[in-house]
Chains A and B, each alone.
Chain A
Amino acid sequence: MVIEKVIAFLQSDPEVKEKWDDKVTHDTHLIDAGVIDSFAIIKLIMFLEEEFNIKLESNELVENNFSTLKNIEKLVIEKNNQK
């Protein structure tokens, strides 16, 4: 559920969608693969907070947390469990 929502959000950006091909899996390193950049990450952070009603701490704003779809899902689930 989290992953689907994240994909839908990221792909709403035409530039991201253009770079998003069949090879992208839940484990693809999205930043290394050039699918998302630092600006897309900022938008993603706001989306995760608003959509899943979580608040990330500064120490969670690290590239690794947003590098793959699986990592993003893990972050959201962990934050939800902390509530």
Chain B
Amino acid sequence: MAELKFSEYINKSPTLVKKPSMKDVKVAFLSNFTITGLAETFKVLCYEHGIFIDCYTAPYNQYQQEILNKSSQLYKFNPDIIFILLDGEQLFSDFYYFPYRMSEEQRKQFIENQFKEIKNLISILKENTNAKIVINSFLVPHYSSRGIIENKQKNGIRSSIQALNSMLESLSHKNLQLFVFDTSIFCSKIGYENLVDKRLYYYADMKIAPKALVKLANEYLAYIIPLASMTKKCIVLDLDNTIWGGIIGEDGIANIKLGPEKDGKPYFGFQKRLLELHERGIILAINSRNNYKEAIDAIKNHKYMVLKEEHFASIKINWEDKATNIREIAKEVNIGLESMVYIDDDVRNREMIKELIPEVFVVEMPNDYAMYPEVIENLKMFNTFNITSEDLNRGKMYLSQKKREQLKSKVQDLNSFIKMLGIEIDISKANNFTIPRIAQLTQRTNQFNLTTNRYSEEDIKKLASDGNHLVYGVNVKDKFGDNGLTGTFIINKKFKEKWVIDTFLLSCRVLGRDIEKAMLNELISMAHKEGVKELIGKYFPTQKNMQTAKFYAENGFKHLDENTFLCENPSPTENIDAISVILN
């Protein structure tokens, strides 16, 4: 997906037609300067990533009215995400040009007042919409009449604006809906010369040049990926000339390029970037055509391998074709192909995967390996709105998963396998610690998910406290380790004697161990204790949750209509003796 010219984006945007497979996202832009073309560009970029966005750009410099007026177009549009772009020169007026007419104390006061005003607007937005709010931080001006002693001024113009940006960031720590887009980092990435086009800056009040708007749209994409639940979970890596330089089978372990010097350095850096992703919860896997012995020897014994054998959840080093291997890896780590990213230096392999498994995101690789670390830095598809403790422990969890699989291959039948695992499940009401993860599970779980209702953190918070719902998180552990919070169910109990199961899901990581049955048993006994007469289960089919189609029917529910199953006078059934359940 090469970058187009600004006018080409403008041209292309109105011609886009939504494909059935595409996710919908509604995006609003508010600004105090001209951002003509941003919406069009963004629409094309999102389209290339399989997301169809509907955009609303508020009229020029009307952001305050749009936020304050409860019946404004902004609220009627009902966006999923709102980008706010404010320019300091416009907003701060005299302070921007004559900061030193004010005293040190007045400057401090001025910035605090500016912050209060923005904070107020954000809290009004928060009251009126559940949309994510992204505000651009203010660009710190280059020029100061104080020249080289600018940063010796107390509360000088630059430190004042930096302070305002810090206040916004602190606000976003407390406000889960709010995100600050760092304009200075963006500027340092693309360069100030590219950020502004002074002709259009003055002629059209375009504070960001058209070409820079294209780059900005590209950065904004990072917010849309998690919003559309398109965050990727796994990177599949080739070995030769990808994670090291050279071909292990020809060059040998002593001659491949990898390490802290010269031409080994880019690969060394590349691996470090990958390791950090692994540590934040991205699954790594190997897909390489090689002799297993030579390649695994290099992974285990090369002095400068940053990525070790234990960092890979699946290792396919063989002479199979790469597409077959990718399908095998998906099965082994139990995730969908659409959650996978493939990295390979060989363009033929990349084209083959694109052709054979279009669901997999294939990363374009530059010819020059010095650019490899940057390839990882530029990937947007691992973005999430928060990181949970499950993310941070995922690597360990997959390691214990490998051990479980080894045990499974040794025992004869499923029941004895489950017994040997010594599974303990802990079912607890949602609390502040578990709410982010419960929301994440509703957004990410595709296979064992009966209704696929997607909820944000704010949604879960509301459900857990509105008195009409019960929200439970399910923690699973066994003798190999803690799988963390991997299941959840949400009950709508508005009609006292009739409970509706709004959400019932289990992460694919812990499937095939009868945990779903133990969960349902527990839910049924809860209903029994509360005197529920009718327990309703819902099933909404998607392309991925077929395995749950018969779940309610197999567990004693009557099939009422297409999507509805009924359990009359629910009463507890026999517990699964291999699984111990703790209810909190």
List A3-51 residues whose CB lies under 8 Å from chain B. Answer: 9, 12-14, 38-39, 41-43, 45-47, 50-51
Q: Say if the beta carbon of A77 comes within 8 Å of chain B.
A: no
Evaluate contact between A38 and B204: CB separation under 8 angstroms: yes
List A46-83 residues whose CB lies under 8 Å from chain B. Answer: 46-47, 50-51, 56-58, 61
Whole-angstrom CA separation of A12 from B7 in the bound complex: 10
Evaluate contact between A42 and B199: CB separation under 8 angstroms: no
A56 nearest CB neighbor, chain B only: B199
Chain A hits for B14, CB < 8 A: 12-14
Whole-angstrom CA separation of A38 from B488 in the bound complex: 53
Chain A hits for B204, CB < 8 A: 38, 41-42
List B170-204 residues whose CB lies under 8 Å from chain A. Answer: 198-200, 202-204
Report the minimum CB–CB distance from B38 to chain A (whole Å). Answer: 11
Chain A hits for B6, CB < 8 A: 46, 50
Q: Say if the beta carbon of B479 comes within 8 Å of chain A.
A: no
Chain B: interface secondary structure?
helix
Chain A hits for B519, CB < 8 A: none
Report the minimum CB–CB distance from B18 to chain A (whole Å). Answer: 16
Cβ contact of B7, chosen from A41, A47, A57, cutoff 8 A: A47
Report the minimum CB–CB distance from A42 to chain B (whole Å). Answer: 5
Q: Say if the beta carbon of B210 comes within 8 Å of chain A.
A: yes
Evaluate contact between A9 and B7: CB separation under 8 angstroms: yes
Known A-B contacts A50-B5, A50-B6; the reply to A42 vs B11 at CB < 8 A is no
Evaluate contact between B7 and A13: CB separation under 8 angstroms: no
Evaluate contact between B37 and A58: CB separation under 8 angstroms: no
Q: Say if the beta carbon of B490 comes within 8 Å of chain A.
A: no
Chain A hits for B7, CB < 8 A: 9, 43, 46-47, 50-51
Evaluate contact between A61 and B203: CB separation under 8 angstroms: yes
Evaluate contact between B36 and A43: CB separation under 8 angstroms: yes
Evaluate contact between B5 and A42: CB separation under 8 angstroms: no
Chain B hits for A61, CB < 8 A: 199-200, 203
Q: Say if the beta carbon of B234 comes within 8 Å of chain A.
A: no
Q: Say if the beta carbon of B384 comes within 8 Å of chain A.
A: no
Q: Say if the beta carbon of B85 comes within 8 Å of chain A.
A: no
Evaluate contact between A12 and B5: CB separation under 8 angstroms: no
Evaluate contact between B10 and A58: CB separation under 8 angstroms: no
Evaluate contact between B202 and A42: CB separation under 8 angstroms: no
Chain B hits for A47, CB < 8 A: 7, 10
Chain A hits for B81, CB < 8 A: none
Chain B hits for A43, CB < 8 A: 7, 10, 36-37
Chain A hits for B34, CB < 8 A: 39, 42
Known A-B contacts A42-B206, A61-B203; the reply to A9 vs B11 at CB < 8 A is yes
B200 nearest CB neighbor, chain A only: A42
Chain B hits for A50, CB < 8 A: 5-8
B11 nearest CB neighbor, chain A only: A12
Whole-angstrom CA separation of A50 from B9 in the bound complex: 12
List B3-48 residues whose CB lies under 8 Å from chain A. Answer: 5-8, 10-11, 14-15, 34, 36-37
Evaluate contact between B10 and A39: CB separation under 8 angstroms: no
Evaluate contact between A12 and B10: CB separation under 8 angstroms: yes
B14 nearest CB neighbor, chain A only: A14
Report the minimum CB–CB distance from B21 to chain A (whole Å). Answer: 25
Chain A hits for B11, CB < 8 A: 9, 12
Evaluate contact between B199 and A58: CB separation under 8 angstroms: yes
Whole-angstrom CA separation of A74 from B105 in the bound complex: 56
Whole-angstrom CA separation of A44 from B6 in the bound complex: 10
Chain B hits for A38, CB < 8 A: 204
Report the minimum CB–CB distance from B377 to chain A (whole Å). Answer: 28
Evaluate contact between B199 and A13: CB separation under 8 angstroms: no
Whole-angstrom CA separation of A9 from B5 in the bound complex: 13
Instruction: Pick the most buried of A38, A41, A42, A45: most chain B CB atoms within 10 A of its CB.
Output: A42
Chain A hits for B37, CB < 8 A: 42-43, 46
Chain A hits for B15, CB < 8 A: 12
Whole-angstrom CA separation of A58 from B204 in the bound complex: 11
Chain B hits for A46, CB < 8 A: 5-7, 10, 37, 210
Report the minimum CB–CB distance from B350 to chain A (whole Å). Answer: 30
Chain B hits for A41, CB < 8 A: 204
B198 nearest CB neighbor, chain A only: A58
A13 nearest CB neighbor, chain B only: B14
Whole-angstrom CA separation of A41 from B37 in the bound complex: 12
Report the minimum CB–CB distance from A59 to chain B (whole Å). Answer: 10
B10 nearest CB neighbor, chain A only: A43
List B355-398 residues whose CB lies under 8 Å from chain A. Answer: none
15 further A-B pairs in the complex, CB-CB below 8 A; given A12-B10, A42-B210:
A9-B7, A9-B10, A38-B204, A42-B204, A45-B200, A46-B6, A46-B10, A50-B5, A50-B6, A50-B8, A51-B7, A57-B199, A58-B199, A61-B200, A61-B203
Which residues does B use to contact A, with CB under 8 Å? 5-8, 10-11, 14-15, 34, 36-37, 198-200, 202-204, 206, 210
- 12 sampled A-B residue pairs with Cβ under 8 A: A9-B10, A9-B11, A13-B10, A14-B14, A42-B206, A42-B210, A43-B10, A43-B37, A50-B6, A51-B7, A56-B199, A58-B199
Closest 5 pairs between A and B when the two form their complex, measured CB to CB: A47-B7, A61-B203, A50-B5, A12-B11, A39-B36
